[in-house]
Structure 1
Protein backbone atom coordinates (compact mmCIF):
# COMPACT_ATOMS: atom_id res chain seq x y z
CA UNK A 1 0.00 0.00 0.00
CA UNK A 2 1.29 3.44 -0.83
CA UNK A 3 1.60 6.26 1.70
CA UNK A 4 -1.55 8.03 0.53
CA UNK A 5 -3.75 4.96 1.09
CA UNK A 6 -2.24 4.41 4.54
CA UNK A 7 -3.11 8.00 5.54
CA UNK A 8 -6.64 7.70 4.15
CA UNK A 9 -7.25 4.42 5.98
CA UNK A 10 -5.96 6.04 9.17
CA UNK A 11 -8.48 8.88 8.79
CA UNK A 12 -11.29 6.38 8.12
CA UNK A 13 -10.36 4.44 11.25
CA UNK A 14 -10.38 7.66 13.27
CA UNK A 15 -13.78 8.54 11.80
CA UNK A 16 -15.22 5.21 12.96
CA UNK A 17 -13.80 5.66 16.47
CA UNK A 18 -15.24 9.18 16.73
CA UNK A 19 -18.67 8.00 15.57
CA UNK A 20 -18.62 5.17 18.13
CA UNK A 21 -17.66 7.65 20.83
CA UNK A 22 -20.53 9.96 19.90
CA UNK A 23 -22.99 7.06 20.06
CA UNK A 24 -21.73 6.05 23.53
CA UNK A 25 -22.03 9.64 24.75
CA UNK A 26 -25.64 9.81 23.52
CA UNK A 27 -26.50 6.55 25.31
CA UNK A 28 -24.85 7.76 28.54
CA UNK A 29 -26.76 11.04 28.38
CA UNK A 30 -30.02 9.15 27.85
CA UNK A 31 -29.29 6.94 30.88
CA UNK A 32 -28.59 9.96 33.11
CA UNK A 33 -31.76 11.74 32.10
CA UNK A 34 -33.79 8.58 32.60
CA UNK A 35 -32.53 8.24 36.20
CA UNK A 36 -33.21 11.92 36.97
CA UNK A 37 -36.83 11.58 35.84
CA UNK A 38 -37.58 8.66 38.16
CA UNK A 39 -39.97 9.22 41.04
CA UNK A 40 -38.65 8.69 44.61
CA UNK A 41 -40.27 5.24 44.83
CA UNK A 42 -38.85 4.28 41.41
CA UNK A 43 -35.39 5.46 42.50
CA UNK A 44 -35.57 3.16 45.55
CA UNK A 45 -36.46 0.21 43.32
CA UNK A 46 -33.68 1.22 40.93
CA UNK A 47 -31.12 1.36 43.74
CA UNK A 48 -32.18 -2.08 44.97
CA UNK A 49 -31.88 -3.53 41.47
CA UNK A 50 -28.52 -1.82 40.99
CA UNK A 51 -27.36 -3.26 44.32
CA UNK A 52 -28.22 -6.76 43.10
CA UNK A 53 -26.37 -6.03 39.87
CA UNK A 54 -23.30 -4.89 41.83
CA UNK A 55 -23.49 -8.09 43.91
CA UNK A 56 -23.54 -10.15 40.69
CA UNK A 57 -20.48 -8.30 39.36
CA UNK A 58 -18.43 -9.19 42.48
CA UNK A 59 -17.93 -12.74 41.19
CA UNK A 60 -16.87 -11.80 37.67
CA UNK A 61 -14.31 -9.63 35.93
CA UNK A 62 -15.61 -6.67 34.00
CA UNK A 63 -18.55 -4.34 34.18
CA UNK A 64 -22.10 -5.53 33.70
CA UNK A 65 -24.73 -3.99 31.46
CA UNK A 66 -26.22 -0.76 32.81
CA UNK A 67 -29.78 -1.06 34.06
CA UNK A 68 -30.73 2.07 32.12
CA UNK A 69 -29.51 0.79 28.77
CA UNK A 70 -31.57 1.85 25.78
CA UNK A 71 -34.46 -0.46 24.84
CA UNK A 72 -34.11 -2.87 21.93
CA UNK A 73 -36.60 -0.96 19.81
CA UNK A 74 -34.51 2.25 20.09
CA UNK A 75 -31.06 0.91 19.20
CA UNK A 76 -31.20 1.95 15.54
CA UNK A 77 -32.47 5.42 16.43
CA UNK A 78 -29.36 5.98 18.55
CA UNK A 79 -26.96 5.09 15.74
CA UNK A 80 -25.20 7.71 13.63
CA UNK A 81 -25.27 7.17 9.87
CA UNK A 82 -24.82 10.74 8.65
CA UNK A 83 -24.18 14.28 9.85
CA UNK A 84 -27.91 14.96 10.22
CA UNK A 85 -28.04 12.18 12.85
CA UNK A 86 -25.29 13.91 14.83
CA UNK A 87 -27.19 17.21 14.92
CA UNK A 88 -30.54 15.52 15.62
CA UNK A 89 -29.21 13.47 18.56
CA UNK A 90 -27.43 16.52 19.94
CA UNK A 91 -30.65 18.54 19.83
CA UNK A 92 -32.97 15.85 21.17
CA UNK A 93 -30.74 14.27 23.86
CA UNK A 94 -27.37 15.91 24.54
CA UNK A 95 -28.69 19.47 24.90
CA UNK A 96 -31.16 18.25 27.54
CA UNK A 97 -28.20 17.39 29.79
CA UNK A 98 -26.83 19.93 32.24
CA UNK A 99 -24.99 22.77 30.54
CA UNK A 100 -21.92 22.43 32.77
CA UNK A 101 -21.68 18.65 32.41
CA UNK A 102 -18.45 17.20 31.06
CA UNK A 103 -20.44 14.84 28.84
CA UNK A 104 -22.00 17.73 26.95
CA UNK A 105 -18.60 19.39 26.45
CA UNK A 106 -17.04 16.10 25.38
CA UNK A 107 -19.76 15.59 22.76
CA UNK A 108 -19.07 19.05 21.33
CA UNK A 109 -15.32 18.36 21.14
CA UNK A 110 -15.83 14.95 19.51
CA UNK A 111 -18.27 16.49 17.04
CA UNK A 112 -15.70 19.14 16.01
CA UNK A 113 -13.03 16.46 15.58
CA UNK A 114 -15.35 14.40 13.40
CA UNK A 115 -16.13 17.46 11.29
CA UNK A 116 -12.42 18.04 10.69
CA UNK A 117 -11.81 14.39 9.76
CA UNK A 118 -14.69 14.50 7.26
CA UNK A 119 -13.16 17.60 5.66
CA UNK A 120 -9.78 15.86 5.40
CA UNK A 121 -11.50 12.91 3.71
CA UNK A 122 -13.33 15.22 1.32
CA UNK A 123 -16.70 14.02 2.54
CA UNK A 124 -18.97 17.03 2.08
CA UNK A 125 -22.28 15.28 1.34
CA UNK A 126 -22.98 14.49 5.00
CA UNK A 127 -23.17 10.72 4.49
CA UNK A 128 -20.83 8.37 6.37
CA UNK A 129 -19.56 5.48 4.32
CA UNK A 130 -19.16 2.49 6.59
CA UNK A 131 -16.76 -0.37 6.08
CA UNK A 132 -13.05 -0.97 5.61
CA UNK A 133 -11.02 -0.81 2.41
CA UNK A 134 -8.94 -3.92 1.84
CA UNK A 135 -6.13 -4.12 -0.67
CA UNK A 136 -5.92 -7.25 -2.88
CA UNK A 137 -4.31 -10.14 -1.01
CA UNK A 138 -4.83 -8.59 2.45
CA UNK A 139 -7.13 -9.74 5.25
CA UNK A 140 -9.04 -7.95 7.99
CA UNK A 141 -10.51 -9.19 11.28
CA UNK A 142 -13.17 -7.70 13.52
CA UNK A 143 -13.22 -8.45 17.28
CA UNK A 144 -16.62 -8.95 18.88
CA UNK A 145 -18.14 -9.96 22.20
CA UNK A 146 -21.47 -11.30 23.41
CA UNK A 147 -23.31 -9.98 26.45
CA UNK A 148 -25.69 -12.52 27.93
CA UNK A 149 -28.23 -11.86 30.69
CA UNK A 150 -27.74 -13.21 34.19
CA UNK A 151 -28.00 -16.99 33.88
CA UNK A 152 -28.55 -19.50 36.69
CA UNK A 153 -27.95 -22.48 34.39
CA UNK A 154 -26.21 -23.07 31.08
CA UNK A 155 -28.05 -22.33 27.85
CA UNK A 156 -27.48 -22.83 24.15
CA UNK A 157 -27.85 -19.89 21.80
CA UNK A 158 -27.91 -19.70 18.00
CA UNK A 159 -26.20 -16.67 16.49
CA UNK A 160 -25.81 -15.56 12.90
CA UNK A 161 -22.92 -13.68 11.33
CA UNK A 162 -23.63 -11.59 8.25
CA UNK A 163 -20.94 -10.10 6.06
CA UNK A 164 -21.44 -7.72 3.15
CA UNK A 165 -18.60 -6.64 0.88
CA UNK A 166 -18.31 -4.70 -2.34
CA UNK A 167 -15.85 -5.20 -5.16
CA UNK A 168 -14.86 -1.76 -6.39
CA UNK A 169 -13.98 -3.02 -9.86
CA UNK A 170 -17.36 -4.69 -10.41
CA UNK A 171 -19.38 -2.23 -8.24
CA UNK A 172 -21.65 -4.95 -6.88
CA UNK A 173 -22.32 -5.98 -3.30
CA UNK A 174 -22.05 -9.57 -2.10
CA UNK A 175 -23.67 -10.77 1.15
CA UNK A 176 -22.94 -14.00 2.96
CA UNK A 177 -23.89 -15.39 6.35
CA UNK A 178 -23.43 -18.47 8.51
CA UNK A 179 -24.82 -19.74 11.80
CA UNK A 180 -22.95 -20.61 14.96
CA UNK A 181 -24.10 -22.33 18.15
CA UNK A 182 -22.86 -21.02 21.48
CA UNK A 183 -22.90 -22.86 24.78
CA UNK A 184 -22.96 -20.19 27.48
CA UNK A 185 -22.12 -21.24 31.02
CA UNK A 186 -24.02 -19.90 34.05
CA UNK A 187 -23.09 -16.49 35.39
CA UNK A 188 -20.19 -16.54 37.88
CA UNK A 189 -22.45 -15.44 40.73
CA UNK A 190 -24.95 -18.30 40.32
CA UNK A 191 -22.91 -21.04 42.08
CA UNK A 192 -21.86 -19.00 45.17
CA UNK A 193 -25.39 -17.60 45.45
CA UNK A 194 -26.70 -21.16 45.46
CA UNK A 195 -24.15 -22.03 48.14
CA UNK A 196 -25.25 -19.11 50.34
CA UNK A 197 -28.96 -19.93 50.04
CA UNK A 198 -28.28 -23.65 50.43
CA UNK A 199 -26.21 -23.05 53.56
CA UNK A 200 -29.10 -21.07 55.07
CA UNK A 201 -31.67 -23.75 54.20
CA UNK A 202 -29.37 -26.53 55.44
CA UNK A 203 -28.94 -24.83 58.80
CA UNK A 204 -32.71 -24.52 59.30
CA UNK A 205 -33.22 -28.15 58.25
CA UNK A 206 -30.69 -29.29 60.85
CA UNK A 207 -32.06 -26.94 63.51
CA UNK A 208 -35.61 -28.15 62.85
CA UNK A 209 -34.72 -31.84 63.01
CA UNK A 210 -32.73 -31.65 66.24
CA UNK A 211 -35.08 -29.22 67.99
CA UNK A 212 -37.47 -30.82 70.44
CA UNK A 213 -39.57 -27.78 71.26
CA UNK A 214 -39.46 -24.33 69.73
CA UNK A 215 -36.96 -23.40 67.08
CA UNK A 216 -34.14 -21.20 68.36
CA UNK A 217 -31.73 -19.53 65.97
CA UNK A 218 -28.05 -19.45 66.82
CA UNK A 219 -26.94 -16.52 64.69
CA UNK A 220 -23.25 -17.37 64.89
CA UNK A 221 -23.89 -20.94 63.68
CA UNK A 222 -26.19 -19.61 60.95
CA UNK A 223 -23.46 -17.22 59.74
CA UNK A 224 -20.94 -20.06 59.86
CA UNK A 225 -23.21 -22.33 57.79
CA UNK A 226 -23.69 -19.58 55.21
CA UNK A 227 -19.94 -18.95 54.95
CA UNK A 228 -19.22 -22.67 54.85
CA UNK A 229 -21.72 -23.12 52.01
CA UNK A 230 -20.11 -20.21 50.14
CA UNK A 231 -16.60 -21.60 50.56
CA UNK A 232 -17.58 -25.13 49.48
CA UNK A 233 -19.46 -23.84 46.44
CA UNK A 234 -16.43 -21.79 45.38
CA UNK A 235 -14.11 -24.77 45.91
CA UNK A 236 -16.28 -27.12 43.85
CA UNK A 237 -17.24 -24.61 41.14
CA UNK A 238 -16.55 -25.89 37.66
CA UNK A 239 -13.50 -24.45 35.91
CA UNK A 240 -12.42 -25.32 32.37
CA UNK A 241 -8.73 -25.62 33.26
CA UNK A 242 -8.98 -27.91 36.29
CA UNK A 243 -10.21 -31.41 37.14
CA UNK A 244 -11.97 -32.03 40.45
CA UNK A 245 -13.53 -35.05 42.09
CA UNK A 246 -16.73 -33.07 42.70
CA UNK A 247 -17.76 -30.20 40.43
CA UNK A 248 -20.72 -27.85 40.62
CA UNK A 249 -22.03 -26.44 37.36
CA UNK A 250 -24.93 -24.10 38.17
CA UNK A 251 -27.18 -22.58 40.84
CA UNK A 252 -28.85 -25.91 41.68
CA UNK A 253 -25.48 -27.59 42.23
CA UNK A 254 -24.35 -24.74 44.46
CA UNK A 255 -27.60 -24.94 46.41
CA UNK A 256 -27.17 -28.69 47.02
CA UNK A 257 -23.56 -28.28 48.15
CA UNK A 258 -24.55 -25.39 50.41
CA UNK A 259 -27.46 -27.35 51.92
CA UNK A 260 -25.19 -30.32 52.65
CA UNK A 261 -22.69 -27.95 54.23
CA UNK A 262 -25.40 -26.47 56.43
CA UNK A 263 -26.78 -29.85 57.53
CA UNK A 264 -23.47 -31.65 58.08
CA UNK A 265 -21.13 -28.77 58.85
CA UNK A 266 -19.61 -30.41 61.95
CA UNK A 267 -18.99 -33.71 60.13
CA UNK A 268 -17.49 -31.98 57.09
CA UNK A 269 -15.19 -29.83 59.21
CA UNK A 270 -13.95 -32.95 61.04
CA UNK A 271 -13.25 -34.64 57.67
CA UNK A 272 -11.43 -31.53 56.45
CA UNK A 273 -9.27 -31.54 59.58
CA UNK A 274 -8.23 -35.12 58.93
CA UNK A 275 -7.63 -34.37 55.26
CA UNK A 276 -5.50 -31.31 55.91
Structure 2
Protein backbone atom coordinates (compact mmCIF):
# COMPACT_ATOMS: atom_id res chain seq x y z
CA UNK A 1 0.00 0.00 0.00
CA UNK A 2 0.90 3.68 -0.44
CA UNK A 3 3.37 2.99 -3.25
CA UNK A 4 4.42 5.94 -5.41
CA UNK A 5 6.32 3.98 -8.03
CA UNK A 6 6.65 5.94 -11.27
CA UNK A 7 5.34 9.15 -9.70
CA UNK A 8 7.14 12.49 -9.92
CA UNK A 9 6.76 14.53 -6.74
CA UNK A 10 7.71 18.16 -6.13
CA UNK A 11 8.22 19.15 -2.49
CA UNK A 12 8.96 22.78 -1.67
CA UNK A 13 11.06 23.75 1.32
CA UNK A 14 12.42 20.21 1.72
CA UNK A 15 15.85 21.23 3.00
CA UNK A 16 14.86 20.39 6.58
CA UNK A 17 12.03 19.53 8.92
CA UNK A 18 8.63 18.47 7.61
CA UNK A 19 9.59 18.98 3.97
CA UNK A 20 12.66 16.80 4.30
CA UNK A 21 10.67 14.06 6.03
CA UNK A 22 8.03 14.15 3.26
CA UNK A 23 10.67 14.01 0.53
CA UNK A 24 12.34 11.06 2.23
CA UNK A 25 9.19 8.98 2.67
CA UNK A 26 7.99 9.73 -0.86
CA UNK A 27 11.34 8.59 -2.26
CA UNK A 28 11.29 5.49 -0.08
CA UNK A 29 7.90 4.62 -1.53
CA UNK A 30 9.21 4.89 -5.09
CA UNK A 31 8.66 8.49 -6.18
CA UNK A 32 11.19 10.54 -8.08
CA UNK A 33 11.44 13.58 -5.82
CA UNK A 34 12.26 17.13 -6.88
CA UNK A 35 13.11 19.55 -4.10
CA UNK A 36 12.54 23.29 -4.51
CA UNK A 37 14.57 25.06 -1.89
CA UNK A 38 15.89 28.55 -1.23
CA UNK A 39 18.97 27.12 0.50
CA UNK A 40 20.86 24.85 -1.95
CA UNK A 41 23.19 23.27 0.63
CA UNK A 42 20.24 22.10 2.73
CA UNK A 43 18.52 20.70 -0.35
CA UNK A 44 21.66 18.82 -1.38
CA UNK A 45 21.86 17.30 2.09
CA UNK A 46 18.31 16.01 1.72
CA UNK A 47 19.13 14.62 -1.74
CA UNK A 48 22.23 12.87 -0.36
CA UNK A 49 20.21 11.26 2.44
CA UNK A 50 17.59 10.05 -0.05
CA UNK A 51 20.19 8.65 -2.41
CA UNK A 52 22.05 6.94 0.44
CA UNK A 53 18.78 5.18 1.27
CA UNK A 54 18.40 4.01 -2.34
CA UNK A 55 15.94 6.64 -3.54
CA UNK A 56 15.96 9.16 -6.37
CA UNK A 57 15.94 12.91 -5.82
CA UNK A 58 17.05 16.14 -7.43
CA UNK A 59 17.37 19.63 -5.99
CA UNK A 60 16.47 22.95 -7.61
CA UNK A 61 17.56 26.29 -6.16
CA UNK A 62 14.37 28.33 -6.23
CA UNK A 63 12.71 31.24 -4.45
CA UNK A 64 9.04 30.26 -4.61
CA UNK A 65 7.99 33.90 -4.30
CA UNK A 66 9.48 34.59 -7.77
CA UNK A 67 7.01 33.36 -10.36
CA UNK A 68 9.43 33.18 -13.28
CA UNK A 69 11.86 31.07 -11.27
CA UNK A 70 9.08 28.70 -10.34
CA UNK A 71 7.82 28.43 -13.92
CA UNK A 72 11.30 27.67 -15.21
CA UNK A 73 11.86 24.92 -12.67
CA UNK A 74 8.51 23.24 -13.29
CA UNK A 75 9.00 23.39 -17.05
CA UNK A 76 12.41 21.80 -16.63
CA UNK A 77 10.92 19.02 -14.51
CA UNK A 78 8.25 18.52 -17.17
CA UNK A 79 5.99 15.97 -15.44
CA UNK A 80 4.48 16.52 -12.02
CA UNK A 81 2.19 13.95 -10.44
CA UNK A 82 2.35 15.30 -6.89
CA UNK A 83 2.93 18.79 -5.51
CA UNK A 84 3.49 19.42 -1.80
CA UNK A 85 3.38 23.13 -0.97
CA UNK A 86 5.46 23.07 2.20
CA UNK A 87 7.75 26.12 1.96
CA UNK A 88 6.89 28.78 4.51
CA UNK A 89 8.13 31.25 7.08
CA UNK A 90 6.81 32.40 10.46
CA UNK A 91 6.31 35.69 12.26
CA UNK A 92 5.54 36.65 15.84
CA UNK A 93 3.32 39.66 16.34
CA UNK A 94 -0.21 40.95 16.81
CA UNK A 95 -1.94 43.27 14.34
CA UNK A 96 -0.43 46.39 15.92
CA UNK A 97 3.17 45.20 15.96
CA UNK A 98 3.15 43.60 12.52
CA UNK A 99 4.75 46.04 10.11
CA UNK A 100 3.78 46.39 6.48
CA UNK A 101 7.14 44.86 5.60
CA UNK A 102 6.48 41.87 7.89
CA UNK A 103 3.08 41.28 6.33
CA UNK A 104 4.45 41.55 2.80
CA UNK A 105 7.27 39.11 3.58
CA UNK A 106 4.87 36.49 4.96
CA UNK A 107 2.50 36.99 2.03
CA UNK A 108 5.24 36.70 -0.58
CA UNK A 109 6.45 33.31 0.67
CA UNK A 110 3.48 31.62 2.31
CA UNK A 111 0.68 32.79 0.01
CA UNK A 112 2.19 33.94 -3.26
CA UNK A 113 4.79 31.18 -3.13
CA UNK A 114 2.05 28.55 -2.88
CA UNK A 115 0.08 30.30 -5.64
CA UNK A 116 3.12 30.30 -7.93
CA UNK A 117 3.66 26.58 -7.47
CA UNK A 118 -0.04 25.79 -7.86
CA UNK A 119 -0.15 27.79 -11.08
CA UNK A 120 2.89 26.02 -12.50
CA UNK A 121 1.79 22.54 -11.45
CA UNK A 122 -1.88 22.63 -12.43
CA UNK A 123 -1.13 23.26 -16.09
CA UNK A 124 1.19 20.26 -16.24
CA UNK A 125 -1.30 18.09 -14.36
CA UNK A 126 -4.11 19.01 -16.74
CA UNK A 127 -1.97 18.04 -19.73
CA UNK A 128 -1.13 14.65 -18.26
CA UNK A 129 -4.65 13.81 -17.08
CA UNK A 130 -4.52 14.47 -13.36
CA UNK A 131 -2.45 14.86 -10.22
CA UNK A 132 -2.44 15.42 -6.48
CA UNK A 133 -1.76 18.59 -4.51
CA UNK A 134 -1.13 18.82 -0.78
CA UNK A 135 -0.92 22.21 0.91
CA UNK A 136 0.65 22.73 4.31
CA UNK A 137 -1.85 24.74 6.35
CA UNK A 138 -1.76 24.95 10.15
CA UNK A 139 -3.84 24.95 13.29
CA UNK A 140 -3.44 28.73 12.91
CA UNK A 141 -6.00 28.53 10.11
CA UNK A 142 -8.59 27.16 12.54
CA UNK A 143 -8.09 28.71 15.97
CA UNK A 144 -6.92 32.01 17.39
CA UNK A 145 -3.26 31.99 18.40
CA UNK A 146 -1.63 34.78 20.40
CA UNK A 147 0.79 36.98 18.42
CA UNK A 148 0.43 35.13 15.12
CA UNK A 149 -1.52 37.70 13.07
CA UNK A 150 0.43 37.55 9.80
CA UNK A 151 1.19 33.85 10.01
CA UNK A 152 -2.45 32.99 10.71
CA UNK A 153 -3.52 35.16 7.78
CA UNK A 154 -1.23 33.21 5.46
CA UNK A 155 -2.36 29.80 6.66
CA UNK A 156 -6.01 30.78 6.41
CA UNK A 157 -5.28 31.71 2.82
CA UNK A 158 -3.68 28.30 2.27
CA UNK A 159 -6.81 26.54 3.54
CA UNK A 160 -9.04 28.67 1.29
CA UNK A 161 -6.84 28.09 -1.76
CA UNK A 162 -7.09 24.36 -1.11
CA UNK A 163 -10.87 24.44 -1.33
CA UNK A 164 -10.86 26.63 -4.43
CA UNK A 165 -8.39 24.47 -6.34
CA UNK A 166 -10.15 21.26 -5.28
CA UNK A 167 -13.45 22.59 -6.59
CA UNK A 168 -12.20 24.12 -9.84
CA UNK A 169 -10.13 21.14 -10.95
CA UNK A 170 -12.48 18.26 -10.20
CA UNK A 171 -13.14 17.85 -13.96
CA UNK A 172 -9.40 17.43 -14.56
CA UNK A 173 -8.80 14.58 -12.10
CA UNK A 174 -6.74 16.81 -9.81
CA UNK A 175 -7.19 16.27 -6.09
CA UNK A 176 -6.22 18.99 -3.60
CA UNK A 177 -6.12 18.65 0.18
CA UNK A 178 -4.32 20.26 3.09
CA UNK A 179 -2.94 19.23 6.45
CA UNK A 180 -2.92 21.41 9.55
CA UNK A 181 -0.12 20.51 11.94
CA UNK A 182 0.11 21.81 15.46
CA UNK A 183 3.65 22.34 16.70
CA UNK A 184 6.18 19.98 15.14
CA UNK A 185 9.68 19.57 16.57
CA UNK A 186 11.98 20.65 13.76
CA UNK A 187 15.21 22.65 13.52
CA UNK A 188 12.96 25.54 12.49
CA UNK A 189 11.18 25.40 15.85
CA UNK A 190 14.47 25.28 17.75
CA UNK A 191 15.73 28.29 15.79
CA UNK A 192 12.45 30.13 16.25
CA UNK A 193 12.55 29.65 20.02
CA UNK A 194 16.21 30.67 20.21
CA UNK A 195 15.53 33.84 18.23
CA UNK A 196 12.36 34.98 19.96
CA UNK A 197 12.82 33.67 23.53
CA UNK A 198 16.51 34.08 24.32
CA UNK A 199 17.39 32.75 27.74
CA UNK A 200 14.04 30.96 28.04
CA UNK A 201 14.61 28.21 25.47
CA UNK A 202 14.03 25.16 27.67
CA UNK A 203 11.07 26.72 29.46
CA UNK A 204 9.44 27.80 26.17
CA UNK A 205 10.01 24.42 24.52
CA UNK A 206 8.27 22.70 27.44
CA UNK A 207 5.43 25.23 27.37
CA UNK A 208 4.87 24.88 23.63
CA UNK A 209 5.02 21.09 23.85
CA UNK A 210 2.31 21.01 26.49
CA UNK A 211 -0.08 23.17 24.44
CA UNK A 212 -0.87 19.94 22.57
CA UNK A 213 -3.24 17.94 24.80
CA UNK A 214 -1.32 14.79 23.85
CA UNK A 215 1.61 16.33 25.75
CA UNK A 216 4.31 16.71 23.09
CA UNK A 217 5.11 18.16 19.70
CA UNK A 218 4.67 16.06 16.59
CA UNK A 219 7.57 14.39 14.81
CA UNK A 220 8.17 15.41 11.17
CA UNK A 221 7.87 11.74 10.21
CA UNK A 222 4.31 11.65 11.58
CA UNK A 223 3.28 14.52 9.32
CA UNK A 224 5.08 12.84 6.41
CA UNK A 225 3.12 9.62 6.94
CA UNK A 226 -0.16 11.52 6.63
CA UNK A 227 1.14 13.33 3.55
CA UNK A 228 2.05 9.99 1.97
CA UNK A 229 -1.46 8.65 2.49
CA UNK A 230 -3.16 11.74 1.07
CA UNK A 231 -0.94 11.71 -2.03
CA UNK A 232 -1.31 7.98 -2.66
CA UNK A 233 -3.85 6.07 -4.74
CA UNK A 234 -5.44 4.82 -1.52
CA UNK A 235 -6.72 8.37 -0.90
CA UNK A 236 -8.23 8.65 -4.37
CA UNK A 237 -11.70 9.49 -2.99
CA UNK A 238 -10.45 12.41 -0.88
CA UNK A 239 -10.35 16.00 -2.11
CA UNK A 240 -11.15 19.42 -0.67
CA UNK A 241 -10.38 18.30 2.88
CA UNK A 242 -8.13 19.53 5.66
CA UNK A 243 -6.58 17.07 8.08
CA UNK A 244 -5.50 18.40 11.48
CA UNK A 245 -2.48 16.53 12.82
CA UNK A 246 -2.42 18.35 16.11
CA UNK A 247 -2.31 16.10 19.15
CA UNK A 248 -5.85 17.20 19.98
CA UNK A 249 -5.05 20.93 19.86
CA UNK A 250 -8.15 22.11 17.96
CA UNK A 251 -10.80 19.92 19.57
CA UNK A 252 -9.47 19.00 23.00
CA UNK A 253 -8.01 22.25 24.40
CA UNK A 254 -10.50 23.55 26.94
TM-score bin, normalised by smaller chain:
under 0.3
- Structure with higher RCO (Cα < 8 A, 6+ apart): 2
With normalisation by structure 1, the TM-score equals: 0.24
Structure showing greater radius of gyration is 1
- Between structures 1 and 2, the one with greater helix share: 1
